[in-house]
Amino acid sequence: MKNLITVILLFSGCRVFAQGLNGVSELKRSYLLQDSITDFQTDVSFNSVSDGQPAPPRMPFYSLSGSAQSGNQYHYQFNLGYTPYERGFMRNSLFSLIVPALDAGEGITDVERSMGLSWLQRWTWEHDGFPTISSMVSLLVPFIVRGLKTNVVVTFIVAKDLPRGVLYFNAYGESKKGLTTDSLDYGLLGGCRMNLHGSKSLTLDVLYQRSSVITFETSFEFDLNKGWTIGPGVNVSYDNNTKGTAYGVGIIFFRQTSKKLFHTHR
């Protein structure tokens, strides 16, 4: 009888241990899927697309972009992003600092004298036919010019895999007079990223803004060595109110680091 009880206890213990290993294995498979989706759906080129993807956990990235528009307008932008945890909810979060902040709500692309602080959250990632769904909340905090108010931008993001690319949909709303709903702006974007031969891709998108401005964008992505990516792009904006057309060109230099920072236990 004692031998039978011992066998039953050993069998039960082995079953619990196997279930634990299976749970760990399932978690690892989920993380591998998340990482593969991030790698496939991330778009690094000069355009208005929000791809809804976090960064590799604990590996910060930075980028510098420059652009020129008709009318002798020249802009630059620095972006620093970081995903702080390798596990749990915040494994799918991205926190970014952008200086200065681009404002797409003024019709033709404008650069505000403000810095952007943003939190992106990927709520679901592509699996079983369901798309990636993300959101991003950004605060545009003014600097240099006094009297300006802090505005907020909320963006809804959907990304869906294609056999050789990704479809993107963005919808955003932006406050224009501080943290109130007195004056709101909004826009819609639809785009498609197509993977080309080698480490290259082409992205086409259309952005419609409440100010009756439609922008057509074409951009390329070239993945280089040691985490570097170059993404040139061109755009054409048509203002239905003024019947004016503006042309722009830009390029982004992106670096994804490979060294993990700030060890965490989460």
Question: How buried is 148 (Cβ within 10 angstroms: 0-12 exposed, 13-18 middle, 19+ buried)?
Answer: middle
CB contact at 8 A, 77 and 100: yes
114-141 average pLDDT score:
93
Residue with more model confidence, 225 or 266:
225
221-227 average pLDDT score:
93
Coil, helix or strand at residue 132: strand
Looking at residue 108, what is its pLDDT? 44
pTM of the model: 0.84
Return the structure tokens found at 116. Answer: 């952007």
Length of the chain: 266
State the first-to-last Cα distance of the chain, in angstroms, to the nearest integer: 45
Query: Which tens digit of pLDDT belongs to each residue from 40-82?
Result: 999 999 999 999 999 999 999 999 999 988 876 788 889 999 9
Give dist(CA 123, CA 92) in Å, integer. Answer: 7
Which of these, 175, 188, 119, lies nearest to 142 by C-alpha position? 175
Residue 110 confidence (pLDDT) above 70: no
% of the chain exceeding 70 in pLDDT: 80
Q: Which residue has the tokens 């279930």?
A: 19
Query: Which tens digit of pLDDT belongs to each residue from 176-197?
Result: 776 666 678 899 999 999 999 8
Residue with more model confidence, 221 or 261:
221
- What are the residue ranges spanned by the domains of the chain? 2-256
CATH class of 2-256: mainly beta
Residue 266 confidence (pLDDT) above 70: no
